[in-house]
């Protein structure tokens, strides 16, 4: 449906193989954060829409689980080809809707495609185990069967990749899939679901898209027809999703927020270190769950200051602007409201006596969402700039005399998503890798995102649940194990 006055369409849900208007009347505006352009109206769907999506998904799943894993995987190969064919278009959509630079968006789409490629190995991954002759004539075998209907709830910061962390694995394992994308940038999800709808092997109803916010999430969490929930978002929402989903007897994986530290040893290669920290702290304007938002400067005061000066010099050269502009290094944050919140955090830190050694609070741009790289020096332990996930291009510097003190500082966090060390010492790297409490670790790599064949997630408050996304964990999450003990005369 297109608004006569604005010319902007209201998005539709995809339910039972057809695009349909949502039943709720309320809509939210989806704007390009760089330009302020209104891209679409996002309907706030209701429990009735979720109910229709789940009922159709259940019907489709009953037949899909009878479909050979080879045929199911063929559908995933077809999805891979469709995504490759449309990768540039998808990347542009990510940039316009979410804001990140075009190369970053292209990398996101590439990562999403890798996840689809990893799921193409499903016939191998689904194979069970057998132990013959456990007693006279008795054999035991383990088989994997699909869980049923999966509800997926995804965040704004990777609007193409994160739905693709879940959809291909869930389908290849024999499940149906109901996606509730972020209401802030749902266009890439809509495009992906359109591509899915064109794949012959995928039956109508098996994949649904329901737009909306909290009400849709809660309807999925409460619906008896939903068997499992894959969630990615902030820690507070992850906790809510886990408790409500688990209370309703569902299997839940809820990947939450992060506060990732980068340890900079005095022997770090300066170019590697500076390049890694710039990409990590300011890439995607710090709106990644793998963003490095704390730099721990290790060494003597002089060595620490030298590292700080290098970082400030490099960050001051980064250009903030529209992600479509090839000259842009730092994209806008997701909305004018997010920019306002972040500027407030910087002002509050300043009022607490923290030195702002690089201040990004310049021109907010036409969409009101530009915020340049900002560096805060000598942030005292326990300050909210160190403990809270700000999710913007704000880097906090802290000091540690040696590696042991740095590890202690890093491990004091309630989060444990990712952590990175820059050093030329194998011994220091090994010690860090061994002691740090994080699910993803980088050594001389700023954004230590595991490739799709490995599980992706953190520890501590960065996850509620135990199975990570991607890799073998995805197969574990989307299947139930059945053990058969047999005796034949
Ligand atoms: P968010 O928690 O605001 O939203 C995530 C999803 O939950 C959205 O679909 C949203 O509609 C829904 N939601 C939000 N509030 C809700 C509520 N009160 N009740 C029910 N549903 C609700 O997260 P976001 O701002 O979209 O995404 C950024 C966050 O995601 C950051 O904290 C980031 O670290 C995290 N993230 C984590 C990972 C990871 O792998 N751990 C990856 C990407 C992003």
Sketch out the chain's domains with CATH numbers. Answer: 13-256+462-487 (3.40.605.10), 260-443 (3.40.309.10)
The low-confidence residues of the chain, meaning pLDDT below 70, are 1, 3-6
Q: Are 376 and 356 in contact (CB under 8 A)?
A: yes
What are the residues whose beta carbons fall under 8 Å from the beta carbon of 173, sequence distance 6 or more? Answer: 122, 126, 144, 146, 147, 475, 478, 479
Instruction: Name every protein residue with a CB atom under 6 angstroms from any ligand 1 atom.
Output: 153-158, 180, 182-183, 213-214, 217, 232-234, 237, 240, 255-258, 289, 389, 391, 417, 457-458, 462
Residue 241 Cα to ligand 1 midpoint, Å, equals 10
Q: Which pLDDT score, from 0 to 100, does residue 4 have? A: 61
Q: Are 185 and 29 in contact (CB under 8 A)?
A: no
| Model pTM score | 0.97
pLDDT one-digit tens code per residue, 19-50 = 999 998 899 999 999 999 999 999 999 999 99
> Which residue, chain included where needed, has tokens 């185990």?
129
Q: Which pLDDT score, from 0 to 100, does residue 403 have? A: 98
pLDDT one-digit tens code per residue, 141-181 = 999 999 999 999 999 999 999 999 999 999 999 999 999 99
- Measuring from atom 23 of ligand 1, which residue has the nearest CA? 233
Residue 65 Cα to ligand 1 midpoint, Å, equals 30
Can you tell me which atom of ligand 1 is nearest the CA of 241? 20
Q: Which pLDDT score, from 0 to 100, does residue 167 have? A: 98
Residue 369 Cα to ligand 1 midpoint, Å, equals 19
> In 8-86, where does DSSP find H-type helix?
47-64, 69-85
Catalytic residues: 289
Q: Are 126 and 175 in contact (CB under 8 A)?
A: no
Q: Is the sign of the CA dihedral 199, 95, 209, 22 positive or negative?
A: negative
- Measuring from atom 17 of ligand 1, which residue has the nearest CA? 214
Can you tell me which atom of ligand 1 is nearest the CA of 469? 40
Q: Which pLDDT score, from 0 to 100, does residue 1 have? A: 67
Residue 353's Cβ-count burial label (10 Å; 0-12, 13-18, 19+) is: exposed
Residue 155 Cα to ligand 1 midpoint, Å, equals 4
Strands in 220-367 per DSSP E: 228-232, 251-255, 260-264, 292-298, 355-358
Cα separation values, 401 from 85, 276, 387, 429, 430, Å: 51, 22, 21, 16, 19
Q: Which pLDDT score, from 0 to 100, does residue 268 have? A: 98
Cα separation values, 301 from 220, 307, 365, 378, 399, Å: 53, 10, 38, 11, 8
- Using CA atoms, how far apart are residues 1 and 187, in angstroms rounded to an integer? 15
- Using CA atoms, how far apart are residues 421 and 212, in angstroms rounded to an integer? 39
pLDDT one-digit tens code per residue, 413-437 = 999 999 999 999 999 999 999 999 9
Q: Which pLDDT score, from 0 to 100, does residue 193 have? A: 98
Q: Which pLDDT score, from 0 to 100, does residue 5 have? A: 61
Mutate to test the pocket of ligand 1, among 163, 209, 234, 466 (most ligand atoms within 8 A of CB): 234
Q: Which pLDDT score, from 0 to 100, does residue 65 have? A: 98
């Amino acid at each position: 449906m297109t608004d006569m006055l604005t010319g902007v369409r209201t998005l539709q849900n995809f339910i039972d193989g057809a695009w349909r208007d949502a039943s709720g009347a309320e809509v939210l505006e989806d704007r390009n954060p760089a330009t302020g352009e209104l891209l679409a109206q996002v309907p706030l769907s209701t429990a009735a829409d979720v109910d229709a999506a789940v009922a159709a998904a259940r019907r489709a799943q009953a037949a899909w689980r009878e479909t050979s894993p080879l045929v199911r995987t063929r559908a995933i190969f077809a999805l891979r080809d469709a995504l490759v064919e449309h990768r540039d278009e998808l990347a542009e959509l990510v940039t316009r809707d979410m804001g990140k630079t075009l190369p970053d968006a292209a990398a996101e789409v590439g990562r999403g495609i890798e996840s689809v490629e990893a799921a193409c190995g499903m016939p191998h991954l689904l194979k069970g185990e057998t132990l013959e002759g456990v007693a006279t004539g008795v054999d035991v075998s383990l088989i994997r069967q699909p869980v049923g209907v999966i509800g997926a709830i995804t965040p704004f910061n990777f609007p193409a990749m994160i739905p693709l962390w879940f959809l291909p694995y869930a389908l290849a394992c024999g499940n149906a899939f109901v996606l509730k994308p972020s209401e802030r940038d749902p266009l890439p999800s809509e495009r992906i679901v359109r591509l899915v709808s064109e794949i012959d092997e995928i039956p109508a109803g098996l994949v649904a898209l329901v737009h909306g916010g909290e009400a849709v999430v809660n309807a999925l969490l409460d619906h008896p027809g939903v068997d499992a929930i894959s969630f990615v978002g902030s820690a507070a929402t992850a906790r809510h999703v886990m408790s409500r989903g688990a209370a309703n007897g569902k299997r839940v994986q809820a990947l939450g927020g992060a506060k990732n530290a980068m340890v900079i040893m005095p022997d770090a290669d300066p170019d590697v270190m500076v390049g890694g920290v710039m990409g990590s702290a300011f890439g995607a304007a710090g709106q990644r769950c793998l963003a490095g938002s704390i730099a721990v400067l290790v060494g003597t005061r002089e060595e620490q200051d030298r590292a700080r000066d290098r970082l400030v010099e490099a960050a001051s050269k980064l250009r903030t602007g529209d992600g479509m502009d090839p000259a842009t290094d730092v994209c806008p944050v997701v909305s004018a409201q997010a920019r306002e919140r972040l500027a407030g955090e910087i002002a509050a830190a300043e009022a607490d006596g923290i030195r702002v050694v690089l201040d990004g609070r310049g021109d907010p741009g036409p969409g009101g969402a530009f915020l340049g790289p900002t560096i805060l020096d000598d942030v005292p332990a326990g300050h909210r700039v160190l403990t809270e996930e700000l999710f913007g291009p704000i880097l906090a510097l802290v000091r540690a005399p040696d590696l042991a003190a740095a590890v202690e500082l890093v491990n004091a966090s309630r989060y444990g998503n990712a952590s990175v060390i820059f050093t030329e010492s194998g011994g220091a790297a090994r010690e860090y890798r061994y002691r740090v409490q994080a699910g993803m670790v980088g050594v001389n790599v700023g954004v230590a995102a595991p490739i799709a064949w490995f599980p992706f997630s953190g520890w501590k408050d960065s996850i509620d649940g135990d199975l990570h996304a991607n890799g073998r964990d995805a197969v574990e999450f989307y299947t139930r194990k059945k053990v058969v003990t047999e005796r034949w005369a």
